[in-house]
Amino acid sequence: MKKKHFIYVIAIAAISLITYFVWPRSETDGHEHESARPEKTDTVAEIETPASKEVQLNEAQYHASEIELGTFSSKNLSAVISANGYTKLPPQNEAEVSVYMPGIVRSINIIEGQAVRKGQVLATIESPEFASIQQEYKTSKSSLEFLKLEFDRQKTLSDEGVNSKKTFQKTKSEYEIEKARFNSLQRQMHLLNINGNSNATTTAPVLAPISGFITEINIKIGSNAEAGKPLLGIVDNSKLHVDLLVYEKDLHKVKPGQNVRFVLTNQDNSEIMGKIFSVGKAFENETKSVAVHADISNDKQKLIPGMYVNALIDIGASAVDALPIDAVIKADGREFIFILQNMEDDPKQGKMYHFQRIEVKSGTAQLGYVQVATLQPLEKDAEIVLKGAYYIQSHLLKSEGGGEHEH
């Protein structure tokens, strides 16, 4: 009996030890497994956060950001020669207006920047010499008519042998002298823009020698207009072209007929097109560069002589899809563009604009444009944000920081 009781006690003790050591250990392992699982889930969620995001703007925000929509442009950004230069006018399209005889300025009919046409009266000057020349012209004209009749009469008599050769030669000499004097006075009247057949006048008009725009006025009412001294300046920008400086190493690649794209150094990034029409045959000063002349195909009226430009001369045909540099933004070490996803009408806020951020890779950049390759296919008619992308990106960051819902 004692032996059975001892065996029973030993069995209970063994069961208690097993329960004490084995059961708590299994429970701890279970808790450790459960606590590790959420940490793994959080790590995966951070890695798999999508790059493409949606931004919503109301109508007021859209217009305030001055967003411009468009699509890819085909640009040659690799097979090109970079050159700098400036806008220039040929000498026949610039004029300095002066007078051939001194006088006093009596009227000025134009202001700086005004468009004028060839032959238009710009100012008037006054001098008693004008009336004297006009009187001499009329006197010479009358004398010339008399001497012409006398010359014809003496020639007839000389041919018939009625009078002597000496008399005829004297009449001929007087006639030719007066004829030369008359022609000289006639040219002076023409240079002074005076009509010799009108009544005598002491004033003479100053006429525009070319059509164009007034660039400077160097006279005032009552000032003295000196002969040969510039009174006014006129430029005709319709023949404006660009002089580009190309260095010796690239000169053999440049030829007439090649297309040129350039932007103004101190203006916006709007692109202006041109075409090379002439290549210089001598170096410019000591720069070891040659002037390449390019005609301008558009926007001539917005340009003036002397503007500095950065240009690309297309020497090949390696066209790529490109966007304005401002269309591509950088965030988290990656590059993105925004496309207009859709528009909808909201009863309270008006029209709502939904933009989607798309990841891209950029390449060569020239003249404000950059080569862009999308990492996902886009629809052919997709409207890309060309201007205002940074505003949309800042709105996205502000929304994320404010805890707004992100689509």
What is the structure's pLDDT at 3? 47
Q: Check pLDDT > 70 for residue 41.
A: no
Query: pLDDT (tens digit, 9 = 90+) per residue, 203-235?
Result: 999 999 999 999 999 999 999 999 989 999 999
Q: How far is CA 334 from CA 361, 371, 375, 393, in A?
A: 8, 15, 12, 13
Q: What is the mean pLDDT of residues 239-267?
A: 86
Query: Higher pLDDT residue, 24 or 259?
Result: 259
Place of tokens 């950001």: 65
> In whole numbers, what is the pLDDT of the chain averaged over residues?
81
Partners of residue 109 on adjacent β-strands? none
CA terminus-to-terminus distance, the chain? 80
Q: Check pLDDT > 60 for residue 404.
A: no
Which of 39-53, 65-79, 159-173, 384-398 has the weakest average pLDDT? 39-53
**Measured between alpha carbons, how far is 326 from 30 in angstroms, rounded to an integer?**
55
Which of 103-117, 127-141, 306-320 has the weakest average pLDDT? 306-320
What is the structure's pLDDT at 73? 86
Query: Higher pLDDT residue, 3 or 355?
Result: 355
Q: Check pLDDT > 70 for residue 402.
A: no
Q: 54-73+320-401: which CATH topology?
A: 2.40.420
Q: Which residues contact 326 (CB under 8 A, 6 or more apart)?
A: 386, 387, 389, 390
Query: Higher pLDDT residue, 48 or 1?
Result: 1
**Measured between alpha carbons, how far is 249 from 155 in angstroms, rounded to an integer?**
74
Decide yes or no: CATH 2.40.30.170 for domain 80-89+240-317: yes
401 is written with which tokens? 């920081």
What is the structure's pLDDT at 205? 94
Q: Check pLDDT > 90 for residue 375.
A: no
The domain segmentation of the chain, as residue ranges, is: 1-46, 54-73+320-401, 80-89+240-317, 94-234
188 is written with which tokens? 């002076």
**Strand ordering across the sheet containing 115-116:** 94-97, 232-235, 212-217, 115-116
What is the structure's pLDDT at 125? 95
Q: Check pLDDT > 80 for residue 21.
A: no
Query: Higher pLDDT residue, 236 or 403?
Result: 236
* Predicted confidence band of residue 11 (pLDDT cuts 50, 70, 90): low
What is the structure's pLDDT at 223? 93
Cβ 243 vs Cβ 83: under 8 Å: no
Cβ 241 vs Cβ 304: under 8 Å: no
For 257, counting Cβ atoms within 10 Å of its Cβ (0-12 exposed, 13-18 middle, 19+ buried), the class is exposed
Query: pLDDT (tens digit, 9 = 90+) per residue, 52-85?
Result: 688 888 888 888 888 999 999 888 777 788 888 9
What is the structure's pLDDT at 176? 93
SS3 labels along 203-266:
EEEEECCCCEEEEEECCCCCCEECECCCCEEEECHHHCEEEEEEEHHHHCCCCCCCEEEEEECC
Query: pLDDT (tens digit, 9 = 90+) per residue, 340-373?
Result: 988 888 887 788 899 999 999 988 787 788 889 8
Q: The domain 94-234: what is its CATH number?
A: 2.40.50.100
Cβ 84 vs Cβ 309: under 8 Å: yes
- Looking at the chain, the whole-number percentage of residues with pLDDT higher than 90 is 32
Q: Check pLDDT > 60 for residue 266.
A: yes
What is the structure's pLDDT at 12? 54
**Measured between alpha carbons, how far is 85 from 263 in angstroms, rounded to an integer?**
11
- Looking at the chain, the whole-number percentage of residues with pLDDT higher than 70 is 84
What does pTM read for this prediction? 0.58
Partners of residue 334 on adjacent β-strands? 331
* Predicted confidence band of residue 97 (pLDDT cuts 50, 70, 90): very high
Q: Is the dihedral of CA 302, 306, 307, 310 positive or negative?
A: positive
Gyration radius of the chain's alpha carbons:
45
Q: What is the mean pLDDT of residues 296-304?
A: 75
